[in-house]
Amino acid sequence: MIGRLHHLVIDAPDPQASAAFWSAVLGDPVTFDDGDFVVVSADEETSGMAFQRAPGLVAATWPDPRVPQQMHVDVMVDDVDAAREQVVRLGARSLGGDVYADPAGHPFCLIRRPRWAPPIAAG
């Protein structure tokens, strides 16, 4: 092993808004915020998602190829129907099927939990 994941860092025009959205989706708190860089993780010692200020960010239009996705997040859920309603209520926009865009335009998918994975703890 060369190293371990520190954070998945995502550009966002408003890092606090992106962190608030993903904090609500994943049930993890904001553990660091310096105004331009915000971290969402289980605790201060755990890797998580980080959002860095990028005022000129051009949001992906995926699945339309004009501005392709740079990355996307798969969110594993027990109940896809309930999760659809919850993410839209938090500010996500449907891109079709179980693909959504977070408030900054980053795409993510809702994935039904496979049988081998432990149940998702309700938050």
Going from the C-alpha of 120 to that of each of 2, 3, 28, 98, the distances in angstroms are 30, 27, 13, 18
Rounded Cα gap, residues 55 and 33, in angstroms: 17
Task: Give the pLDDT score at 59.
Answer: 86
Task: Give the pLDDT score at 2.
Answer: 61
Do 102 and 14 form a contact (C-beta atoms < 8 A)? no
Task: Give the pLDDT score at 99.
Answer: 92
Global pTM reads 0.79
Tokens of 113: 């939990």
Domain spans of the chain, in order of start: 7-112
Q: Output the tens digit of pLDDT for each of the chain's 123 residues.
A: 666 778 899 999 999 999 999 999 999 999 999 999 999 999 998 889 999 999 999 888 888 888 887 778 888 899 999 999 999 999 999 999 999 999 988 888 898 887 877 777 655
Fold adopted by 7-112? 2,3-Dihydroxybiphenyl 1,2-Dioxygenase; domain 1 (3.10.180)
